[in-house]
Structure 1
Amino acid sequence: MGYVADRWHKKKPGPDEPECGEHKGLVASKAHGKGKRWQARYDDPNGREITSLHRTKTEAEAEIVKQEAAKQTGSWLDPKAGRVTVERFSLDTWLPSLNINSRSRTEYEGVLKRYLVPEWGNREIRSIKPSEAGAWQQQLISKYKLKGTYPNRVSRYVRGIFRLAVIDRVIPVSPFERIPAPAAEEKATQPPDVAEVRQLITNAYDDRWAAMIELNALTGLRSGEIRGLRLDRIDFLRRTMLVNQQLVYEKGVGMYFAELKTGAGLRTLPLSQRTVDLLAAYVKKYPPRADGESEGLIFVMADGGLIGESTLDYALKSTCKKAKVQPRHWHELRHHYASVLIAGGENPKVVQKRLGHKDVMTTLRTYAHLFAEAEEKTRDVLDAAWAEPGETALEEESPQQGGRIPESRRRQGVLRQVSG
């Protein structure tokens, strides 16, 4: 149990010390008349003494009762903890608590220093109000001009900071608790179809780029994953590929091989026979090097050097120009792979695993429109399966278009009329 101390008077005065002129029977201390008189003292749940100053003895005693009760119920908060600034808690507590690699740490730190520290860096973390949290999220769009899914991502980082502050009992509740996050506005992906990918393969000005374009369309690898792919990750007999590393670039460090960002990225892909044949033919013509930094890599530069991300992007853009198709980014070949799986009837969970997404919601957000198209195909399949003999051949003239419509479409029109 805590106790109250009188700061203005000595607890054990000497025998010859004069009596306080203001308070009878007491001996004044050096702090007499300076600041608040009464000091509440109590131990926190870890046994560390906590103190606070109060104007009256009654207020100090009430504070002790309040804090002791909070310890008993598990709701105790360090009154001084919330005084830490947003910048210090973010960089010194939240960032080190994350189980991320150095590249992700650099990325997160950059985000905080660009969008959070300039706004709230010097503020005490306990001082941020819900209204300010909502306004800050709006600034990501209005002031910083962030678009697409980026405002949502930045907001998630910062919301995580305040969530940890609650868990660490630095603040009682997060200012973001009832504030909705910015919508993750995913752009509908329009990946190249098989015909376009074939054009790119045909017009690639080097065997290396042709093979990489085709392999990526057949496996959906990320840029770093295909550039860091080693021959010993391919099981030609079982027709599988182990994806467990990537080639990355970090400012001040250069290119190096690293583990994948998440455990979900670690995956074994089933390979089609076309993929196996492609790899077998390529490594036969261009055997991987047996030593050096590119040892075992399937794809390297002509001089044996590592392939940078910008080099790969430039190669694809040049190929697009030669093929006379719209400019494509390397990631769109990954989208092509996903679109083929979805069109083939693979469920979202399987697509998630093949792509190495962290969760299935990421897959659904990215490819929602493709799944919707697949649902329409499902309806047509069911209509065809349950049609009476010869019914699927029935067609009607379309007076608006001068063409013919299938019976299943005619039924949909009838259903709309009945429901309407």
Structure 2
Amino acid sequence: MSHDHCKPVRYNRGMLRKEKRAIGTVWVFRWSEEANGQRRQHKDVIGTTKQFPTEAAANKEADRRRCRLNENKQYLSLKAITFGELINNYLDHELPRLSKSARKANKSYIKNWIEPNWHGRIACSMKTMQIQEWLDRIQRPDGTKVKIKNVLSAIFSHGVRWELVERNPVCGQGGSPGHRGASTGVRQSNRVSIRRVALAPDVVRQTLEQLPLREATMALVDAVTALRASELIALKWKNIGWGTGILQSEFALVEGELKETKSRNNPLPLAESVLQVLRLWRENTAYRSDEDWIFASPHYHGKTPYTYQILFRRHIRPVIERVAGIKSSKVAPIGWHTLRRSLATLLISNGENVKVAQSQLRHTTPKITLELYAQAVSADQQDAHNKVVQMVLPVAFPEKLKARTVTATA
């Protein structure tokens, strides 16, 4: 039996040349392929020299053509594939599957760190210790270096999956399943160099007392539900069960894209005092129908919610920092996630069952709840929620907030 069909095929790199055309000088990618026993010549215009001023720029675009040219060939010889070609295949086929924010972050790490150093290297020649030494030389926080490492590993894993490379030198993974070990891959600590803050109940309470109605409502709901900021801003009035005291978070708004949340079937409890504050905000906003955003922006006539990052930075963070006396550069910046982390700490310090805390925070495992933050029976979850509300909510807060609102509008 003949095995000619298993004979390795050379990676077709083609060649790049300049040619004069009616539109000016252009870059032309030329290659040849064998079909029916005959070798045929092909060419494809990459673009003009104005579009790609340098050969390096034109070659980056040619790398995409090379990947498409070779991706369907079986028994491909892997020795000639550059890491730049691997990057382009990843950008074309894997990156679109990620969320908008992940696409943006990964592109940034590739452009600023990975591509400048590894673009021209033959992918299969990249060794674990070479990558380790390069990563060790990068003068950035450990958290940043871990992300660079993870993106680099994702590119190699994509290459293994597409059979463009045989192994992933970042994690020590070969082409065969299960051939992986932490001790054989690149090592990078994820040690946090700055202290993350969890707010004490009295800090939250004093903060709420100093915030206007809009900001106080947002901060209160976030502090007692641990919603992610993207989930908080995507709430609509129809998501509140006024008679049942239940909040149903269904979507998250990430960089303008509305995404279903993985925990959309996990309802969250709302105490009556929190519902009173929400009713007061509904009475004072122009957008109060069930289909309206709870925190709709009047600047866009209620069609979109507020930009939560700007709102927090301008109006909420200064109050928290003043109340808590936070000035040190060694403390992580106060953000929406600080309120989420604070609730986790309160639940654990109150002695709540870890499953209750996990359900409230909607973590996938109890390990995440315990390690990163210091399906429960609904009665237990409601009880835990009520305890936290009593700890952070100022006495007679809905009435005080209403009086402040009336005074402000008088």
The interval holding the TM-score normalised by the smaller chain is 0.5 to 0.7
Which of the pair has more CA radius of gyration?
1
* Distance of aligned partners of 1:301 and 1:96 in 2 relative to their CA distance in 1, 3 Å threshold: same
Aligned position for 1:193: 200
Unaligned runs of 5+ in 2: 12-73, 173-183, 328-333, 375-410
Q: Alignment partner for residue 132 of structure 1, among 130, 133, 142?
A: 130
Aligned position for 1:170: 164
**SS in structure 2 at match of 1:298:** coil
Determine if the alignment matches structure 1 residue 80 to structure 2 residue 77.
Answer: yes
* Distance of aligned partners of 1:215 and 1:147 in 2 relative to their CA distance in 1, 3 Å threshold: same
Tell me how far apart the structure 1 counterparts of residues 264 and 143 of structure 2 sit (CA, whole Å): 20
* Distance of aligned partners of 1:51 and 1:111 in 2 relative to their CA distance in 1, 3 Å threshold: closer
Q: How many residues align?
A: 289
Task: For CA contacts below 8 A with separation 6 or more, give which structure has more relative contact order.
Answer: 2
Residue 209 of structure 1 deviates from its aligned partner by 0.6
The residue correspondences of 1:21-420 to structure 2 (distance < 5 A) are 42-44=4-6, 50-51=8-9, 78-93=75-90, 96-97=93-94, 99-139=97-137, 143=138, 145-176=139-170, 177=172, 178-186=184-192, 188-204=195-211, 206-249=212-255, 256-259=256-259, 263-264=262-263, 267-286=266-285, 288-290=287-289, 296-301=292-297, 303=299, 304=301, 306-308=305-307, 309-320=309-320, 323=323, 325-326=325-326, 328-357=334-363, 360-368=366-374
* Distance of aligned partners of 1:78 and 1:110 in 2 relative to their CA distance in 1, 3 Å threshold: farther
Tell me how far apart the structure 1 counterparts of residues 340 and 213 of structure 2 sit (CA, whole Å): 20
Aligned position for 1:393: none
**1:81-102 CA-partner distances (Å, limit 9, x unpaired):** 3532223323323663353223
How does the TM-score come out when normalised to structure 1? 0.60
| Residues 244 and 267, structure 1, Cα contact 8 Å, conserved in 2 | no
| Residues 84 and 124, structure 1, Cα contact 8 Å, conserved in 2 | yes
* Distance of aligned partners of 1:173 and 1:321 in 2 relative to their CA distance in 1, 3 Å threshold: closer
| Residues 9 and 75, structure 2, Cα contact 8 Å, conserved in 1 | no
Unaligned runs of 5+ in 1: 4-41, 54-76, 250-255, 369-420
Tell me how far apart the structure 1 counterparts of residues 359 and 132 of structure 2 sit (CA, whole Å): 35
* Distance of aligned partners of 1:188 and 1:307 in 2 relative to their CA distance in 1, 3 Å threshold: same
Residue 265 of structure 1 deviates from its aligned partner by 7.3
Residue type of the alignment partner of 1:259? K
Residue type of the alignment partner of 1:81? L
Tell me how far apart the structure 1 counterparts of residues 355 and 78 of structure 2 sit (CA, whole Å): 43
Residue 191 of structure 1 deviates from its aligned partner by 0.9
| Residues 9 and 77, structure 2, Cα contact 8 Å, conserved in 1 | no
**1:45-75 CA-partner distances (Å, limit 9, x unpaired):** xxxx64469xxxxxxxxxxxxxxxxxxxxxx
Aligned position for 1:372: none
* Distance of aligned partners of 1:280 and 1:95 in 2 relative to their CA distance in 1, 3 Å threshold: farther
The RMSD of aligned alpha carbons is: 3.2
* Distance of aligned partners of 1:219 and 1:361 in 2 relative to their CA distance in 1, 3 Å threshold: same
Residue 276 of structure 1 deviates from its aligned partner by 2.6
Tell me how far apart the structure 2 counterparts of residues 113 and 266 of structure 1 sit (CA, whole Å): 38
Residue 226 of structure 1 deviates from its aligned partner by 1.7
* Distance of aligned partners of 1:96 and 1:272 in 2 relative to their CA distance in 1, 3 Å threshold: farther
Which segment drifts farther, 228-237 or 318-327? 318-327
Residue 193 of structure 1 deviates from its aligned partner by 1.0
Tell me how far apart the structure 2 counterparts of residues 358 and 157 of structure 1 sit (CA, whole Å): 23
Report % sequence identity.
21
Tell me how far apart the structure 2 counterparts of residues 161 and 212 of structure 1 sit (CA, whole Å): 39
| Residues 10 and 77, structure 2, Cα contact 8 Å, conserved in 1 | no
Residue type of the alignment partner of 2:294? I
Tell me how far apart the structure 2 counterparts of residues 362 and 82 of structure 1 sit (CA, whole Å): 41
| Residues 316 and 330, structure 1, Cα contact 8 Å, conserved in 2 | no
Residue type of the alignment partner of 1:129? K
* Distance of aligned partners of 1:51 and 1:312 in 2 relative to their CA distance in 1, 3 Å threshold: closer
Aligned position for 1:24: none
Aligned position for 1:65: none
